[in-house]
Amino acid sequence: MNPRNFLSELKRRNVYKVAVAYAVVGWLIAQIATQIFPFLEIPNWVVRLVIVLIAIGFPIALVIAWAFEATPEGIKRTEVADAKHEHSRGKTWIYVVIIGAAISVTLFFVGRYTAGNNSSAARTELPAKSIAVMPFENLSDDKGAAYFADGIQDEILTKLASIADLKVISRTSTAKYKSKPEDLKTVSQQLGVATVLEGSVQKAADKVRVNVQLIDARADSHLWAKTYDRDIKDVFAVESEVAQEIADSLQAKLSSAEASTLATAPTKDTAAYDLFLKGEFQLRAANVSLRPESFDQAIAWYQQAIARDPNFALAMARLAECRLNQHWFVETFNESELAEVKRTTERALALAPDLAETHVSHGLFFYYGYRQYEQALAEFGRALQLQPNNAQAVEYSGYVYRRQGQWQRGLDTLKKSLEQDPRNASVAGNLSQTYCILRMWQDGERRGGYALSIDPSEVIGWRALLLAILNGSGDIKRAQGVLATFPFTNDLISSSASGIVPTVIGDRAYVSVIARDFEAALKVWDGGAYIAADQRRRLSAKATIRALAGDFTGAQADADKARQLLEERLRERPNERVSMRELIWVYLALKRDADALKLARQAVDLLPPERDALLGNSNLAGLAEIEARTGAASDAIAILRRLLTIPAGETVSIARLKIDPVWDPIRKDPGFQQLLTLTEHVGP
């Protein structure tokens, strides 16, 4: 066959058309593989395999086009097709080529554009001026000097937090890591920072050695490293120098006020500073354990530091914060005790009006002391002006917004807090709790799970996760399965000022009660060494569990003992809500219904929803529980109907109403049954 005839035959058999169409379609497939597969995280070897197969398929397609022909009867050998039909002269192949070419070109340019964007995003995902200060390693012979290493780290971090041009991660988040994490790239992604400071401290007599190294965590490369050998009295200068070196390395712009903050020491008395650092170390332990004696020890250290330096404003601010945490979480203070705390915060503020911590403690006094929300927010706002990276001020602001019923603002602020403090399990747990209040169960469960991924013993996260399951779906078995993975400690029976029955019997026992396994609930409170507060709780919890089971005779002995202790306690501290809640159920166990109802109404008057949207709604739910058990069914149902129409998912949900034994006395009431058909409020 001469060349001209061969080319004519190629044309007649549509081989060249197949070649063009194959090239276009092959190019299209290659573009899809190279542009789309990486986005879907499909391995690169798959992309290469697709391209190789396209190349191998080209000659095969040409051979098939020469040997076969598409006819109305199907694919035929070309010779057979020639004998029966003319070759198709349709234009379909042209459309295939045009459409394929258009898609290929589009994918090419989109791929180029998005690849550039993705590359840029990867480079800018972590802000260059961002840092996390890892826990400093204690290299001292005295392992008890860990508090000192922690203090050096904390002071450097505090100085950096005052620089508005930097993103500085809170100590709460960095505390979750080792001094020298093995996988810095993962750490930087988890914390959202480009650089990490590692360090160690060695203290001996009146000498101290501080080693620090600044690392680009993205590339795991050292930017600089230094060793400081100084007298202990010069430790403040070391902290200032390290902070300044970091600011210079990250090219952070400093205002004159920020530069002054970096150079300022919290006290000139190194012995007072050492006592202060011991207080800081003890306060962190107290905030975890919530044990009264741990708070008392921290208070003692702070007071000794202030005794050595009466102008030590930072120690005063932290002393006030310690006492306010004790008041809020452990033991309600009386008016004279709160007045003493007020004097401490005001003294600190007068001594150091430009110190962010003094404004945080003052704001916390307004919040924890008297629920004066606007004053608290003003102080937290001022703290953020002075120290833009102050994680506490953002976190507390989020909690205040919840108390005000500003649910969306509370959500947004807690999310912002979590961005600044991404490994803070408590913030994540509180965010989960907020979603549960809003009956956003899936979000609540997701955030609760995240809190526990950070800290598997985080109590707020566990409580929120249990709430999301029980209140969201009423799945008791799943809740029991989740609870079984939590260490069997007293953590889930710690005190709470919430108004409903789990406050009295504890969350762990409550899961058994809601499953109607009252014996298992009682076993939660068997044994153990109890201090006075725990003894009151143990007796009232067991009496309440038996009352819920209908065993009023069995409840008598524990209820009588609890009543005496609680009435004495309330004579000393008349407005202590935890003790009030316990006594309400003790009265109920003793069948003193009128006394229980009177005290429950008093609890609502003491803290109504208008004063505290979070606990006020819980107190209303607690009143409804007592009304349901004392014959006031219509009053209980009216409260429940109200709570179902507002953000109160932490205390009332339709799924929970269906299974909670608390409501058994009114379960068959037509009004209660109607509640189960309502559409409950969801969202802010």
41-82 pLDDT, tens per residue?
455 555 566 666 777 776 776 666 656 565 555 555 555 555
Residues 305 and 286 in one domain: yes
pLDDT at residue 494 above 60? Answer: no
pLDDT digits (tens, 9 = 90+) for 116-131: 343 333 334 778 888 8
Instruction: Confirm whether 683 is domain-assigned.
Output: no
Cα end-to-end distance, the chain, whole Å = 82
Residues 252 and 393 in one domain: no
Q: What CATH number should be reported for the domain holding residue 197?
A: 3.40.50.10610
Give DSSP secondary structure letters for 264-311: --S-S-HHHHHHHHHHHHHHHHHHHH--HHHHHHHHHHHHHHHHH-TT
| Residue whose C-alpha is closest to residue 580's, from 504, 494, 491 | 504
Residues 259 and 295 in one domain: no
Instruction: Confirm whether 261 is domain-assigned.
Output: yes
Say what the pLDDT of residue 680 is. Answer: 92
User: Which residues are paired to 69 by β-bridges?
Assistant: 76
Residues 208 and 285 in one domain: no
CA dihedral 586, 588, 591, 595 (to 10 degrees): 90
Say what the pLDDT of residue 86 is. Answer: 47
Residues 668 and 535 in one domain: yes
Last residue of a domain, which of 124, 148, 182?
A: 124
The pLDDT of 191-220, averaged and rounded, is 86
pLDDT digits (tens, 9 = 90+) for 561-617: 999 999 999 998 888 888 999 999 999 999 999 999 999 999 999 999 999 999 999
Q: What is the 3-state secondary structure (H, E, C) of 208-239?
A: EEEEEEEEECCCCEEEEEEEEEEEHHHHHHHH
Instruction: Confirm whether 473 is domain-assigned.
Output: no
Last residue of a domain, which of 92, 124, 156?
A: 124
Number of domains in the chain: 4
Residues 523 and 499 in one domain: yes
**Residue in the block written with tokens 């992604």:** 189
Residues 543 and 625 in one domain: yes
Range of the domain at 61: 3-124
* % of residues, the chain, pLDDT over 90: 50
Say what the pLDDT of residue 222 is. Answer: 81
Instruction: Confirm whether 653 is domain-assigned.
Output: yes
Helix (H, G, I), strand (E, B) or coil at 518: helix
**pTM (predicted TM-score):** 0.77
Instruction: Confirm whether 477 is domain-assigned.
Output: no
Residues 308 and 290 in one domain: yes
Residues 96 and 209 in one domain: no
- 195-204 and 137-138 as β-strands: parallel, antiparallel, unpaired? parallel
Residues 184 and 323 in one domain: no
Q: What CATH number should be reported for the domain holding residue 530?
A: 1.25.40
The answer to whether residues 353 and 315 touch, using CB atoms and an 8 Å cutoff, is no
Residues 668 and 552 in one domain: yes
Instruction: Confirm whether 179 is domain-assigned.
Output: yes
Last residue of a domain, which of 213, 241, 265?
A: 265
Neighbour count for residue 208 (Cβ, 10 Å): 24
In sequence order, the 6+-apart residues with CB closer than 8 A to the CB of 198 are 134, 179, 180, 212, 213, 215
Residues 522 and 623 in one domain: yes
Tokens at 639, concatenated: 């409260």
Instruction: Confirm whether 684 is domain-assigned.
Output: no
Say what the pLDDT of residue 280 is. Answer: 93
Instruction: Confirm whether 486 is domain-assigned.
Output: no
Query: What is the average pLDDT score of the chain?
Result: 84
The helix (H) or strand (E) run that includes residue 77 is strand 74-77
The pLDDT of 173-178, averaged and rounded, is 81
Say what the pLDDT of residue 375 is. Answer: 98
pLDDT band at 657 (very low <50, low <70, confident <90, very high): very high
**Residue in the block written with tokens 């945490």:** 325
